[in-house]
Chains A and B, each alone.
Chain A
Amino acid sequence: MPIGAVIEFTSITKKFGQVTAVNDLSFTVEPGRVTGFLGPNGAGKTTTLRMLLGLVAPTSGTATFGGLRYRDLPRPLHTVGAALEAASFHPGRTAAHHLGVYTIAAGLPRTRVVEVLHTVGLAEHANQRVGSYSLGMRQRLGLAYSLLGDPGVLVLDEPINGLDPEGIKWIRGFLSSMAAEGRTVLVSSHLLSEVQQSVDDVIIIAKGELVHSGPLSSLDTNIAPQVIVDSPNRDALIMALTDAGVPFTSGRTGLIVAVPDPGRVGHIAFTAGVELNVLHRQKAGLEDSFLALVEGGDSL
């Protein structure tokens, strides 16, 4: 069974001319867990992963697998399997030939081609030219490439993009089983909800900087609960809240008050003589936490 290595980013920075795409990013990814690498589009996820894989040279800092940079790995495909975007194929080559080329380059047995195509469910399309593949099939082929060397580390950039619901369900189970075998699994996505069900840890970046890292559950407590309140006489309620000096915003279903205790909001209304028809506490979801993190850009 392949053993996963720890992925370690140390102060990695990438500047494209004047633009800083990734700024002083440091975090580790542990084996035996699925780690979600999250951030909005353009946050620098792909650049970070490409630096990890030696495809993009960092301006400063390092990224290593068990202490070794990618290019110093003695047998890279045996150690790390990576699937980046879904377009790295010659359209005139068949899937089997595409994978065959890289088994030769990496000195892997040719039998791996059939095995990985079978794993990702493309066995019956093995001899079809990739040009005729759908986006979902290309995603699967990219994944097949990453599995060629039966690596202990998987690095997947937006692997769920373009998959059909059945494929999404399959890949979630697949990622979990890989981690359960002791492998290191790093999966990027711009949507938390896409990976929420399968990740153990999250690394969140925004504008090239780390905004949060920790277990998925740590996101839960990141945003203080709020109180939703409404009144048949909303203007009176607004006046009462303003007088009491509590911050609030107008929402679809009422006023969202930034205090954790509904009792206090009720008391404010009661003393002002305002009738209430809505008063409850709302706990922010993970997605709200995630959005607050990437939009605010502040570490909580």
Chain B
Amino acid sequence: MNLILRPVAAEFSKILTTRMWWILALVLFGYIALLAGGLAALFGGLESGAINPDAVNTGGGSSLTGLGSLPPLIYSFASSVGYVFPVLLGALATTGEFRHQTLTPTFLATPKRGRVLGAKTISLFVVGAALGVVGLAASVGVGALVLGGFGVDPLLADGETWALIGRTVLAMALWAVIGVGLGVLVPSQVASIVIVLAFTQFVEPLLRFAAAFTEVTADIGKFLPGAASDALVGASFFTLASPGGTVLEPWQGGLALLAYGLVATVGGYFISWKRDVT
């Protein structure tokens, strides 16, 4: 038992003894709080009549009732927007070992390299879940407060809301695992960060949008990691913004995300992790 617990505890210690985790958590909280609070105020204001709908350019047609239930949408920002943070933390935790050559002391202490990578995956899963809790503290905490302020029911007594919160935590945890996988696939830290930012902020949203145009591409597009994540969580602003898109069941979305993480990690194990440490 010690054989895996010790490396896991060591990986936790690695994360917690540098500043990156709380910097990312802080930025995540601020970013999501701003976004969830702002949109909750906008839509809450519209729904409650505090804001005159004519004053807002809704792009024509799309009425608020078409958006479905407002609170889950706001709450899902924690993962639908915040998922980039656990990916970054996972990728940094892995590429940092290459960059700072800490693989040497790590493999000297634990020569079984597969065990180290497994330990890193487990610890990042847990830290990713913790980032999920931080993101939710922002999206649910601030979102519900603002919605409540406009007299909109924040649905906090609803079991479905809490199920969504649980699934969001799981999604964020899986994203951190994907980050670890990316880090071993692309051990260059700069390249890894560029890929994370370009893919999550630009390439994937574009692909998801484009995929929704035809049925065939939509069937493929729903397996894109971001789409799978939104499917797992069960609500997303993005899904609503492209109504033509089909969505996976939550459990399918979860499995797809897990598959991305595991395939990347196992692939990376052979590409970089098993290599000579020089």
Chain A residues with CB under 8 Å of chain B are 46-47, 50, 53-57, 70-71, 73, 76-77, 80, 82, 84-85, 87-94, 97-98, 100-102, 104-107, 145
Contacts and interface: CB of A to CB of B under 8 A. Distances in A.
B71 to A, nearest CB: 39
B277 A55 contact: yes
Q: Pick from A47, A77, A100, A102 the residue with the most CB of B within 10 Å.
A: A102
A107 B10 CA distance: 10
Contacts of A92: 18-20
A80 B107 CA distance: 13
13 contacts: A47-B278, A56-B278, A70-B111, A71-B111, A77-B108, A88-B104, A90-B102, A91-B100, A92-B18, A92-B20, A93-B17, A98-B17, A106-B110
Contacts of B101: 85, 87-88
Interface stretch (B1-9, B58-66, B237-245): B1-9
Contacts, number: 86
Given A93-B18, A97-B17, A106-B6, A76 B111 contact: yes
A100 B15 CA distance: 12
B109 interface: yes
Contacts of B200: none
A90 B18 contact: yes
Contacts of A53: 108
B29 to A, nearest CB: 21
A70 B14 CA distance: 24
Contact of A88 (B18, B102, B112): B102
B189 to A, nearest CB: 12
Interface residues of B, number: 27
Instruction: Report whether over half of chain B's contact residues are helix, strand or loop; otherwise say mixed.
Output: helix
Interface of B: 2, 6-7, 9-10, 13-14, 17-20, 96, 100-102, 104-112, 276-278
B277 A107 contact: no
A55 B276 CA distance: 6
A28 to B, nearest CB: 22
Given A104-B13, A105-B110, A89 B100 contact: yes
A105 B7 contact: yes
Given A91-B100, A105-B6, A97 B13 contact: yes
Contact of B13 (A46, A77, A80, A100): A100
Q: Which 10 pairs between the two chains have the least Cβ-Cβ distance?
A: A105-B10, A97-B17, A71-B111, A105-B109, A55-B277, A56-B276, A104-B10, A88-B101, A102-B109, A88-B104
A104 B119 CA distance: 13
Nearest to A93: B17
B13 A101 contact: yes
A91 B2 CA distance: 29
Contact of A71 (B10, B13, B14, B112): B112
A264 B150 CA distance: 112
Contact of B104 (A47, A55, A80, A93): A55
Given A56-B278, A105-B7, A145-B105, 19 more contacts: A50-B277, A50-B278, A53-B108, A54-B107, A55-B107, A55-B108, A55-B276, A71-B111, A76-B109, A82-B108, A84-B104, A90-B18, A90-B96, A92-B18, A92-B19, A97-B17, A105-B6, A105-B109, A107-B2
A53 B276 CA distance: 11
